[in-house]
């Protein structure tokens, strides 16, 4: 039973509208590498946010370093605003176990003590292993446990979703 | 004990004999080759079918580590290693502790060695007291005690006047002087050949001129004094050229090379393998090729093992701090034959380098199989393949750069004075 | 023996960092890329990440060095590791304990990583050969052989200011013969594809086979520095005046010290580097060391990030 994945651009439009009422120009947006950063860039523009965009790479805070080692492609985190007392919205492409968000929050707290943190995810696929929830979701999508949902961007900066079956590259 | 060695390929380099025939041994001597002497009944028959019967090897340098270095090796272990390697006569350098600069020490060593009833040991006496390079030893007394020649081992002899006078004094009695060409100042602090490997690995270099500068001094002094000099452990291409030229000018010198230098080069140091820390150092491939050519054309008269057992603690140190040397008695035959095969020379020509030629240099009756000669023999299987495993070596020194190498030729029997002293 | 690389594990991942020679280019670049992320950690208030929490890193310095040891300590602590400093010096050797015994004793104390500095070339290789499989070894300098983290931070520095390696001319000036830093830099530069690497120094201070490392040799500073993009000055130790290598520090400075006049031969935007500590007035004039082209202080900051990258990559590999 192969239900096709929703269109990413549609979901992004939906997510943007769901967020519009709940953010102010001073809301600070932080995208989680790599898909979350693409989304955050688009959201930042669409929502007309004033604070510069932050990007975060959670490689140094992951809980699987002991078993998998350091991620092969670590990117620098860059938060060009004061985290202390900020109202932050974290942006990620796919919310699944919740571990990435846990790592992102731990990392954020090493920058300072935010006033609040909310989460925007393009897709919530369920399967949480930690008590983490997203305040803004594009769509809830169900896929088999071993499958991966991947956000892609083409040369025209158009976003799309792809399903990588278990065992596939 | 009457022994018949049956059906082996008898190779005697000195007399150009190379024939499958029996060897008949009695009362410590070779009685006959080919046909049994009349009335000969063997007590023991050694089946040498498919094997080579050659003179017991004569090794021009094997450190036995007694007296003084018993924690590295003892006469028992090293003499056992010698016969396991088919070596029936060996020369040991004087750098024991104390050095062999006193007749009493030499007598004791000879006595100890004789009582083991294995290979014949020919000690080199110290050329100077304590090997310090300052005062002469009592060479005549040392000769009487059983030394075969005089040497500085690796000790410095930087004072050329002392060197000149030592050579004059030795030649006064006709005693040979064995010298390693090594300029102490140029070699100072160096641990590896001054080539691309030392440069890359940051090892203190020993330039080739450390050998050639000393060599030219020695050759000129030989011409001056007429001393009978044997040059030990050549390692450079330029050095071989100099000896070739000296011989062509009629200068009476002989020289040897270590089996290690014929096969290895600086490249074998790899990731700082201290088993490749040797004196003289392993040099460039060009040097190695020149040594091989020199051995082939006779410029290099003999090949020796330069056997130097080193305890593991002294090798398990950073390269520059490790003690140099490699164990080698048990590898001399296989390494010599490997060189011979690669140089495409006859078995007899290869074996000459470790039998008749070293015997000639020493001026002893050895390294030959002929009726009337002492039955010092080596019977080996030229086709047996074996792997060098340090733990199984008889030598107490397990320090070999050839660990894991595949060798051909395994010694099956070694006889000294007509007695089987090793059976493998 | 030559097929195997003692630095890599069975999966081709970095197990030890002993020398840059023989390191695949991808691994060198991976370390530099990872270091970028650690640089940004160093710029925020909490300069720590929890990656190496619970790990024990032993600084095993057989040769004294406060500055290198300190940067490794800072790097390890920023990774939340526990750091134990051991200035072994020669005292345990004189008590008869061998190098390997010292290492074995420390391994029994649950070390995860050894950072080793030793006066003998090959010491780090020897230790790496003998540690348990789960222990990683970082060479912090062995004799004249290698100082790989210094080579890496120097490459990081060059990339930071010059962006591309592909069109650079780099000159290394001074006592290359005795320098483990120079050897590591040369290997790193050639691995990263720098087309022209020059060494400049008097004949007595350059190894006789140095051109076989892939470098151009110059004995004259003016010609050697012509159109160069990066000038790396090496430290000249005072012992070099003994052993007939050099007559005096003054003569060395006159011909091989970096002054503004000599630097003017290089490109106007050339950067000046030095591994430190500097001997002002011997290999480098103060006005250059403190001048606008000098990147000597940033090198130190980059050094912490690079060492954090090396430690976290190693500790993450089985």
**Judgement on whether residues C155 and C287 belong to the same structural domain of the protein:** yes
Rounded CA separation C150/C291 (Å): 22
Residues from chain C contacting residue B198 (CB–CB below 8 Å): 207, 209
Helix (H) or strand (E) holding C288: helix C286-289
Cβ neighbourhood burial of B267 (10 Å; 0-12, 13-18, 19+): middle
Q: Is C40 on the interface with A (CB under 8 A)?
A: yes
Q: Which of C49, C81, C317 to mutate to test the interface with A (most CBs of A within 10 A)?
A: C49
| Residue B297: active-site member | no
CA distance C267 to chain B (A): 30
Whether A150 maps to a domain, the answer reads: yes
CATH at C162? 3.40.50.1370
Chains A and C touch (3+ CB pairs under 8 A): yes
Residues from chain C contacting residue B193 (CB–CB below 8 Å): none
Per-residue pLDDT for C92 more than 60?
no
User: Among B195, B200, B203, whose Cβ lies nearest the Cβ of C21?
Assistant: B200
**Judgement on whether residues C264 and C172 belong to the same structural domain of the protein:** yes
Whether A49 maps to a domain, the answer reads: yes
Measured in degrees and rounded to the nearest 5, phi and psi for residue C97 equal -80, 125
CA distance C2 to chain B (A): 7
Whether C286 maps to a domain, the answer reads: yes
Rounded CA separation C84/B225 (Å): 65
**Judgement on whether residues C66 and C192 belong to the same structural domain of the protein:** no
Stretch C64-85: mean pLDDT, rounded?
Answer: 94
**Judgement on whether residues C194 and C277 belong to the same structural domain of the protein:** yes
Residues from chain B contacting residue C118 (CB–CB below 8 Å): 318
Whether C277 contacts C18, CB under 8 Å: no
Q: Which residues pair with C197 in a beta bridge?
A: C170
Asked if the Cβ–Cβ distance from C316 to A65 is below 8 Å, we say: yes
Chains touching C (3+ CB pairs < 8 Å): A, B
Q: Which residue of A has its CA nearest to C309?
A: A70
Whether A94 maps to a domain, the answer reads: yes
Asked if the Cβ–Cβ distance from C213 to B200 is below 8 Å, we say: yes
| pLDDT value of residue B70 | 84
Whether A96 maps to a domain, the answer reads: yes
Chains touching B (3+ CB pairs < 8 Å): C
Chains B and A touch (3+ CB pairs under 8 A): no
Stretch C146-152: mean pLDDT, rounded?
Answer: 98
Chain A to chain C Cβ contacts (< 8 Å)? 48
Rounded CA separation C220/A111 (Å): 51
Which of the 8 DSSP states describes residue B323?
P
pLDDT range class, residue C1, cuts 50, 70, 90: very low
Q: What pLDDT, in 10s, does the model give residues A22-43?
A: 999 889 999 999 999 999 999 9
State which residues of chain B have pLDDT below 70.
none
Whether C229 maps to a domain, the answer reads: yes
Give me the domain span that covers residue A129. Answer: 8-164
**Judgement on whether residues C153 and C285 belong to the same structural domain of the protein:** yes
| pLDDT value of residue A1 | 47
Nearest to A118 by CA among A142, A101, A131, A100: A101
Q: How many domains does chain C have?
A: 2
3-state DSSP helix/strand/coil percent for chain B, to nearest 5? Answer: 35, 25, 40
Instruction: Give the list of residues 6+ apart from residue A25 with CB closer than 8 angstroms, or none.
Output: A48, A49, A50
- Rounded to the nearest 10 degrees, the angle between the axes of helix C180-191 and helix C25-42 is 110
What is the ipTM for the molecules in this complex?
A: 0.92
Residues from chain B contacting residue C6 (CB–CB below 8 Å): 271
Rounded CA separation B408/B334 (Å): 6
Q: Which residue of A has its CA nearest to C45?
A: A111
Q: Is C312 on the interface with A (CB under 8 A)?
A: yes
Interface residues of A toward C, Cβ cutoff 8 Å, are 57, 59-61, 65, 68-70, 72-79, 106-107, 110-112
Whether C29 maps to a domain, the answer reads: yes
Rg of chain B, C-alpha, whole Å: 21
Catalytic residue among B183, B306, B376, B381: B306
Whether C127 maps to a domain, the answer reads: yes
| pLDDT value of residue C90 | 53
Rounded CA separation B415/C81 (Å): 65
CA distance B318 to chain C (A): 5
Whether C162 maps to a domain, the answer reads: yes
Chains touching A (3+ CB pairs < 8 Å): C
Q: Which of B199, B277, B405 to mutate to test the interface with C (most CBs of C within 10 A)?
A: B199
Helix (H) or strand (E) holding C93: helix C91-94
Nearest to A91 by CA among A121, A61, A117: A121
**Judgement on whether residues C116 and C250 belong to the same structural domain of the protein:** no
**Judgement on whether residues C141 and C182 belong to the same structural domain of the protein:** no
Q: Is B185 on the interface with C (CB under 8 A)?
A: no
Whether A3 maps to a domain, the answer reads: no
Whether C151 contacts C20, CB under 8 Å: yes
Please, what is the end-to-end C-alpha distance for chain B in angstroms?
A: 20
**Judgement on whether residues C285 and C163 belong to the same structural domain of the protein:** yes
Quick count: other Cβ atoms within 10 Å of Cβ A120? 26
Helix (H) or strand (E) holding C171: strand C169-173
Asked if the Cβ–Cβ distance from B272 to C209 is below 8 Å, we say: no
CA distance C209 to chain B (A): 6
Cβ neighbourhood burial of C262 (10 Å; 0-12, 13-18, 19+): buried
Whether A58 contacts A85, CB under 8 Å: no
DSSP letters spanning C21-32: TT--HHHHHHHH
Asked if the Cβ–Cβ distance from B196 to C212 is below 8 Å, we say: yes
Which of the 8 DSSP states describes residue B308?
-
Whether C136 maps to a domain, the answer reads: yes
Rg of chain A, C-alpha, whole Å: 16
**Judgement on whether residues C184 and C139 belong to the same structural domain of the protein:** no
Rounded CA separation A52/C37 (Å): 19
User: Among C1, C146, C212, whose Cβ lies nearest the Cβ of B199?
Assistant: C212
Helix (H) or strand (E) holding B377: strand B377-387
Rounded to 5°, the CA angle B305-B308-B314 comes to 145
**Judgement on whether residues C159 and C34 belong to the same structural domain of the protein:** no
Whether B149 contacts B177, CB under 8 Å: yes
Q: What is the 3-state secondary structure (H, E, C) of chain A?
A: CCCCCCCHHHHHHHHHHHHHCCCCCCCEEEEECCHHHHHHHHHHHHCCCCCCCEEECCHHHCCCHHHHCCCCCCCCCECCCCCCCCEEEEEEEEECCCHHHHHHHHHHHCCCCCCEEEEEEEEECCCCCCCCCCCEEEEECCCCCCCEEEEEECCCCCEEEEEECCCCC
Q: Is C36 on the interface with A (CB under 8 A)?
A: yes
CATH at A21? 3.40.50.2020
Q: Which residue of C has its CA nearest to B192?
A: C121
Q: What pLDDT, in 10s, does the model give residues A124-157?
A: 999 999 999 999 999 999 998 889 999 999 999 9
Whether A2 maps to a domain, the answer reads: no
The three-state secondary structure class of B360 is helix
Q: Hey, what are C23's tokens?
A: 């390191």
C-alpha torsion angle, residues B150, B293, B303, B401 (rounded to 10): 110
Q: Which residue has the tokens 């931070």?
A: C153
Quick count: other Cβ atoms within 10 Å of Cβ B405? 16
Give me the domain span that covers residue C123. Answer: 25-147+300-316
Strand B377-387, strand B52-55: pairing: antiparallel
Rounded to whole angstroms, the maximal C-alpha distance in chain C is 56
Determine the length of chain B: 424
Residues from chain C contacting residue B270 (CB–CB below 8 Å): 1-2
- In angstroms, what CA-CA distances link B402 with B259, B330, B389, B398, C113? 11, 11, 9, 10, 32
pLDDT range class, residue A2, cuts 50, 70, 90: low
Stretch C282-302: mean pLDDT, rounded?
Answer: 96
Question: In chain B, positions 237-296, which contact chain C (CB-CB < 8 Å)?
Answer: 270-273
Q: What is the 3-state secondary structure (H, E, C) of B138-188?
A: CHHHHHHHCCCEEECCCCCCCCHHHHHHHHHHHHHHCCCEEECCCCCCCCC
| pLDDT value of residue A79 | 95
Instruction: Give the list of residues 6+ apart from residue B153 with CB closer than 8 angstroms, or none.
Output: B93, B94, B95, B99, B124, B126, B131, B180
Percentage of residues in chain C with pLDDT exceeding 70?
A: 96
**Judgement on whether residues C73 and C136 belong to the same structural domain of the protein:** yes
Rounded CA separation C159/B242 (Å): 52
| pLDDT value of residue A168 | 56
Q: How many domains does chain A have?
A: 1
Measured in degrees and rounded to the nearest 5, phi and psi for residue C17 equal -115, 100
Whether A83 contacts A108, CB under 8 Å: yes
Stretch A156-162: mean pLDDT, rounded?
Answer: 93
Determine the length of chain C: 318
Whether A29 maps to a domain, the answer reads: yes
Chain B to chain C Cβ contacts (< 8 Å)? 74
Measured in degrees and rounded to the nearest 5, phi and psi for residue B400 equal -130, 135
**Judgement on whether residues C42 and C118 belong to the same structural domain of the protein:** yes
For chain A, give the mean pLDDT: 93
Q: Which residue has the tokens 């070339």?
A: C121
CA distance C271 to chain B (A): 27
| pLDDT value of residue B1 | 86
Q: Is C113 on the interface with A (CB under 8 A)?
A: no
Whether C16 maps to a domain, the answer reads: no
Whether B266 contacts B280, CB under 8 Å: no
Q: Hey, what are A134's tokens?
A: 């997203």
Distance from the Cα of residue C82 to its chain's centroid: 23
Whether B64 contacts B75, CB under 8 Å: yes
Residues from chain C contacting residue B196 (CB–CB below 8 Å): 209, 212
Determine the length of chain A: 169
Whether B237 contacts B183, CB under 8 Å: no
Whether C295 contacts C271, CB under 8 Å: yes
* pTM of the model as a whole: 0.92
Q: What pLDDT, in 10s, does the model give residues C160-218?
A: 999 999 999 999 999 999 999 999 999 999 999 999 999 999 999 999 899 999 999 99
Instruction: Give the list of residues 6+ apart from residue C151 with CB closer than 8 angstroms, or none.
Output: C20, C181, C184, C185, C187, C188
């Amino acid at each position: 039973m192969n239900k096709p994945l929703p269109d990413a651009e549609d979901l992004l439009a939906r997510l943007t509208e769901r967020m519009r009422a709940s953010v102010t120009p001073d809301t600070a947006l932080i995208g989680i590498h790599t898909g979350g950063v693409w989304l955050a860039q688009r959201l930042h523009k669409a929502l007309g946010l004033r604070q510069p965009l932050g990007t975060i790479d959670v490689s140094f805070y992951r809980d699987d370093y002991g078993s998998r080692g350091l991620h092969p492609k670590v990117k620098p985190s860059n938060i060009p605003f004061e985290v202390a007392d900020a109202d932050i919205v974290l942006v990620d492409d796919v919310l699944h176990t919740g571990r990435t968000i846990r790592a992102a929050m731990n990392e954020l707290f090493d920058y300072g003590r935010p006033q609040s943190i909310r989460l925007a995810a393009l897709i919530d696929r369920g399967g949480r292993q930690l008590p983490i929830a997203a305040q803004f979701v594009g769509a809830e999508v169900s896929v088999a446990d071993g499958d991966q949902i991947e956000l892609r961007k083409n040369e025209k900066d158009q976003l799309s979703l792809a399903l990588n079956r278990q065992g596939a590259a | 004990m009457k022994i018949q060695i049956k059906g082996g390929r008898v190779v005697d380099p000195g007399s150009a004999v190379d024939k499958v025939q029996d060897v008949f041994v009695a009362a410590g001597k070779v009685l006959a080759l080919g046909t049994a002497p009349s009335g000969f009944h063997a007590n023991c028959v050694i089946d040498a079918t498919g094997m080579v019967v050659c003179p017991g090897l004569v090794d021009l340098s094997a450190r036995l580590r007694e007296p003084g270095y018993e924690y590295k090796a003892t006469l028992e272990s090293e003499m056992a290693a010698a016969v396991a390697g088919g070596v029936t006569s060996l020369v040991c350098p004087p750098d024991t502790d104390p050095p062999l600069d006193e007749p009493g020490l030499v007598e004791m060593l000879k006595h100890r060695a004789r009582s083991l009833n294995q290979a014949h040991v020919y000690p080199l006496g110290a050329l100077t007291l304590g090997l310090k390079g300052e005062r002469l030893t009592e060479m005549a007394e040392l000769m009487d005690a059983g030394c075969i020649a005089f040497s500085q081992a690796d000790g410095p002899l930087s004072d050329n006047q002392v060197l000149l006078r030592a050579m004059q004094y030795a030649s006064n009695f006709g005693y040979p002087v064995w010298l390693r060409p090594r300029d102490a100042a140029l070699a100072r602090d160096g641990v590896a050949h001054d080539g691309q490997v030392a440069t890359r690995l940051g090892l203190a270099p020993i330039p080739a001129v450390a050998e050639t500068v000393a060599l030219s001094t020695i050759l000129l002094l030989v011409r001056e004094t007429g001393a009978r000099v044997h040059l030990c452990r050549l390692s450079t291409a330029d050095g071989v050229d100099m000896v070739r030229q000296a011989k062509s000018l009629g200068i009476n010198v002989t020289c040897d090379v270590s089996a290690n230098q014929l096969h290895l080069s600086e490249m074998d140091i790899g990731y700082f393998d201290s088993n490749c820390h040797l004196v003289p150092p392993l040099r460039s491939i060009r040097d190695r090729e020149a040594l091989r050519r020199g051995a082939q054309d006779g410029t290099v008269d003999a090949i020796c093992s330069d056997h130097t057992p080193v305890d593991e603690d002294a090798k398990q140190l950073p390269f520059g701090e490790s003690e140099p040397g490699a164990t080698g008695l048990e590898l001399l035959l296989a390494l010599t034959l490997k060189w011979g095969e690669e140089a495409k020379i006859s078995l007899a020509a290869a074996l000459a380098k470790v039998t008749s030629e070293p015997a000639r240099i020493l001026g002893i009756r050895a390294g030959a199989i002929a009726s009337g000669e002492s039955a010092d023999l080596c019977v080996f299987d030229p086709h047996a393949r074996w792997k060098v495993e340090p733990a199984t070596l008889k030598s107490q020194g397990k320090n070999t750069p050839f660990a894991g190498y595949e060798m051909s030729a395994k010694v099956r029997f070694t006889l000294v004075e007509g007695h089987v002293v090793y059976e493998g | 023996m030559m097929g195997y690389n003692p630095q890599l594990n069975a999966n081709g991942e970095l197990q030890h960092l002993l020398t840059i020679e023989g390191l695949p280019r991808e691994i060198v670049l991976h370390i530099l890329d990872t270091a970028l992320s650690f640089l940004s950690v160093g710029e925020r208030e909490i300069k720590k990440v929890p990656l190496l929490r619970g790990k024990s890193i032993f600084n095993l310095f057989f040769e004294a060095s406060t500055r290198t040891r300190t940067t490794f300590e800072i790097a390890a602590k920023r990774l939340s590791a526990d750091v134990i400093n051991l200035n072994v010096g020669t005292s345990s050797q004189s008590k008869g304990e061998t190098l390997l015994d010292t290492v074995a004793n420390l391994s029994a104390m649950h070390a995860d990583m050894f950072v080793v500095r030793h006066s003998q070339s090959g010491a780090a290789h020897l230790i790496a050969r003998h540690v348990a499989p789960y222990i990683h070894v970082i060479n912090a300098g062995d004799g004249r052989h290698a100082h790989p983290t210094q080579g890496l931070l120097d490459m990081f520095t060059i990339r930071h200011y010059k962006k591309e390696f592909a069109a650079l001319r780099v000159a290394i000036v001074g006592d290359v013969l005795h320098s483990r830093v120079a050897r590591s830099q040369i290997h790193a530069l050639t691995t990263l594809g720098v087309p022209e690497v020059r060494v400049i120094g008097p004949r007595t201070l350059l190894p006789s086979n140095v051109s076989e490392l892939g470098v151009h040799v110059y004995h004259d500073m003016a010609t050697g520095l012509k159109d160069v993009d990066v000038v790396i000055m090496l430290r000249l130790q005072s012992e070099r005046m003994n052993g007939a290598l050099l007559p005096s520090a003054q003569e060395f400075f006159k011909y091989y010290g970096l002054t503004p006049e000599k630097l003017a031969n290089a490109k106007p935007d050339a950067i000046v580097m030095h591994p430190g500590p500097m001997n002002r007035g011997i290999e480098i004039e103060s006005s250059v060391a403190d001048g606008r082209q000098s990147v000597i202080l940033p090198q130190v900051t980059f050094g912490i990030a690079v060492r954090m990258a090396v430690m976290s990559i190693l500790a993450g590999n089985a």
